[in-house]
Structure 1
Amino acid sequence: MPSSSTTEIRKSGKFLKYLAGFIILLAIIYTGGWFYLANQLESRVATNLAAFKQKGIDATCDNAAASGYPLRLGLECTKVGWADQAKQLSVVAGSFNAAAQIYDPMHIVSQIEGPAAVDAPGMVPLDITWKDLGSSVRLDKPLPKQISVQGNDIVVNQRNAAAGSAPIAIMQGGKLSFSTTEPKMNIAWSFEKLKIADNIVYEHPLPELTGAADIELENGFALLAKPERDITILRGQSGLLNNVDLGFADGSGIAISGPFSVDNEGRISGDFNVTMRNPEGVAQAMRGILPGEENTISSVLQAMAFVPKDANGAPTLPITVKNGKMSVGFIRIGRLPSL
């Protein structure tokens, strides 16, 4: 008669066999499901590219292939491009890969390799390089909930420029992000150590710039449905400048905050606080940018000595804008152009 220990060992062995078989079965089902989804992804990419061609847009994703097994599902392309002949706009870049974790399929991250060749109306042909450039998208219905793009060590050159020519622009890092909670949209961007080549803007040298912005649009979700693709898209919008900041290498800079609105004619209204960090440093930078405005710059610098200071001791000037007309108290100081 078999002992109880022998019986337990047999039962344990059977259990392990069943467990191993169950795990193998799950692995087979999972693998089959992954490759089914991978095939669907490749088919969807081919269908979408064909649909763009019917619209006159040559979108390319060379050697498109699903990747990421077993824990991710993604797409890799050896080269990507976008060419809209009607708008004379084209962008061609290097390899591209995007993927989502199986356990979080609504969050897609991607990376794209340079260089990129950019052609657009009214611009010289550009070649753009970077150390890394990636994006993160949080999908939702009917539109993505969050989108962010970030890059480092970005260099913009004129294509076929003479050997030794300085780049058009160099930027140490930059980030742009959108987030939506219907009907609101929040837009934030920042850049570090942006240096634009001399004589590109205002035909004068520009200092190295660092900037950031955090803007909330009350009905920004509606912008996504508008056909306009220029600044007039902001007509009828209202929101809040949480902070818009432009800084110079010595730490001086200008920051603007406050609520605003734009009417249907593009006229801006709002109540803003303009803060100037180290006014003398700002004035020195502006003298280099606008050498013909020495008297105006000096007058503004003198006036800032008499305005209220914030908690950090920086002069802060309240400016009211009504239908584009700017004033400090009852003193009219100018007019903003309509959007």
Structure 2
Amino acid sequence: MSSATPTAARVKIKRLAIGILVFLAVYTGVWFLAAYQIETRLSAFLAGRSGSARTLECDDMAVRGFPFRIGLFCDSLRLDDRGNAASASFGALRSAAQVYWPGRAVIELDGPAEMRVSPDFGLSAVWSRLQASIDAGFSSLNRSSISADDPSGTLVLGSIGERLAFSAAHGELHLRRNGPDLDAAATLTRFDLKPADGPSLLPPLDSAVDLTVKDRADMLGLGRLRAAALRGASGEVRNLTLDFGNGLVTTASGPFTVSEDGLISGAFKLSMRDVEGWRRTLAAAFPEDEDTIDNTANMLTALAAGAKDASVTLNVRDGTAFLAFIPIGVLPTL
């Protein structure tokens, strides 16, 4: 009896070891087969689109991450949309997803980036770190986020003949499917926008926005996240904050609609701290608009009964913003 027990134990250990080795061999084979299939099929798909209106090139493509991850790697990335006269190029791309959760992936992208939409728009940008993440289900994308550290670059607006330089300490964008609706939140820290050959016009800006767009969850789909997709939509801005430091803070919230022509309408609760400080700062940055700035500041002060801070309702009708019944500005068309 005593001699049979060790023998039985050795047999069990041996079987367990063989089982583990078989599992590892099968797992390794499945991983490399999946990697091979991903790489070859994606290469064939991209090659098949060569010469079409929209192309994507991934130089030195490889699938890596064994044993516990799987991800796509490229030395450089290029996109070309001939139909819209648009193109973009980036540095190396790295992605990774856990084998047991392939729908959740993290993506890193190196600069520099070059984007062009002929003839009106051009963008050159670099950053110290750019990372994105996605969370996808069986049939849809549920979440998407992107963050960048130290982005900076040059923006060329050919239609108005402007060349601008921009920089920021950090920026983030988060999108989430909320039933049929789309939740969006974004932050930007120490953002500076100025003429490419001149000094900054305004102090560095910290901004944040949190909003919901009704019945637009499908904007999370590939290629659908664009301003024109908001046409015909409605939603609510829960919070919009602009902070130039030194107490110059403005917040807004309220419902909005977007017409089929891309014109925004809504009624927003606007709170502005230090109206006189805003007047001085904006007038110094845009002296050609000093009369409009003074008139707007005077109206805010009057509506606030002479107080330093103002809380008013900003009505926007078909893209034009009104304080009381007086128009004070025009919002861009989406």
Q: TM-score range by the shorter chain?
A: 0.7 to 0.9
Of stretches 226-235 and 177-186 in structure 1, the one that deviates more from structure 2 is: 226-235
User: 1:39 and 2:44 equivalent?
Assistant: no
- Between the aligned partners of 1:257 and 1:31, the Cα distance in structure 2 is 54
- Between the aligned partners of 2:53 and 2:320, the Cα distance in structure 1 is 44
SS in 1 for 2:33: helix
Aligned partner of 2:77 in structure 1 is 80
User: 1:146 and 2:143 equivalent?
Assistant: yes
Amino acid at match of 1:49: L
- Give aligned-pair identity as a percent: 26
C-alpha deviation, 1:20, in angstroms: 1.0
SS in 1 for 2:72: strand
User: 1:176 and 2:182 equivalent?
Assistant: no
Match of 1:298 among 294, 307, 311: 294
Aligned partner of 2:312 in structure 1 is 317
- Contact 1:153/1:172 (CA < 8 Å) preserved in 2? yes
C-alpha deviation, 1:54, in angstroms: 4.5
Amino acid at match of 1:238: S
- Contact 2:267/2:314 (CA < 8 Å) preserved in 1? yes
- Contact 2:218/2:224 (CA < 8 Å) preserved in 1? no
TM-score by length of 2: 0.84
Aligned partner of 1:190 in structure 2 is 187
Change (3 A) 1:251 1:109: farther
Amino acid at match of 1:70: P
- Between the aligned partners of 1:68 and 1:305, the Cα distance in structure 2 is 61
- Between the aligned partners of 1:167 and 1:300, the Cα distance in structure 2 is 27
Change (3 A) 1:279 1:8: farther
SS in 2 for 1:44: helix
Aligned partner of 1:13 in structure 2 is 10
C-alpha deviation, 1:184, in angstroms: 0.6
Change (3 A) 1:246 1:105: same
- Between the aligned partners of 2:209 and 2:185, the Cα distance in structure 1 is 5
Amino acid at match of 1:315: A
User: Could you list the runs of 5+ residues in structure 2 that have no partner in the other structure?
Assistant: 157-162
Of stretches 28-37 and 244-253 in structure 1, the one that deviates more from structure 2 is: 244-253
- Between the aligned partners of 1:213 and 1:319, the Cα distance in structure 2 is 17
C-alpha deviation, 1:31, in angstroms: 0.7
Match of 1:284 among 260, 280, 284: 280
C-alpha deviation, 1:100, in angstroms: 0.6
- Between the aligned partners of 2:294 and 2:164, the Cα distance in structure 1 is 33
User: 1:212 and 2:213 equivalent?
Assistant: no
- Contact 1:177/1:189 (CA < 8 Å) preserved in 2? yes
User: 1:155 and 2:152 equivalent?
Assistant: yes
Change (3 A) 1:102 1:298: same
Match of 1:96 among 93, 97, 101: 93
**How many residues are treated as equivalent by the alignment?**
325
What is the correspondence of 1:190-339 to structure 2 with a 5 Å cutoff?
A: 190-198=187-195, 205-221=201-217, 231-305=227-301, 307=303, 314-322=309-317, 327=322, 331-333=325-327, 336=330
Aligned partner of 1:163 in structure 2 is none
Of stretches 218-227 and 258-267 in structure 1, the one that deviates more from structure 2 is: 218-227
C-alpha deviation, 1:219, in angstroms: 1.5
SS in 2 for 1:219: coil
Amino acid at match of 2:259: D
- Contact 2:299/2:323 (CA < 8 Å) preserved in 1? no
Change (3 A) 1:42 1:204: closer
TM-score by length of 1: 0.83
Aligned partner of 1:56 in structure 2 is 53
SS in 1 for 2:168: strand
- Between the aligned partners of 1:102 and 1:204, the Cα distance in structure 2 is 48
User: Could you list the runs of 5+ residues in structure 1 that have no partner in the other structure?
Assistant: 160-165
- Contact 2:170/2:188 (CA < 8 Å) preserved in 1? yes
- Contact 1:174/1:190 (CA < 8 Å) preserved in 2? yes
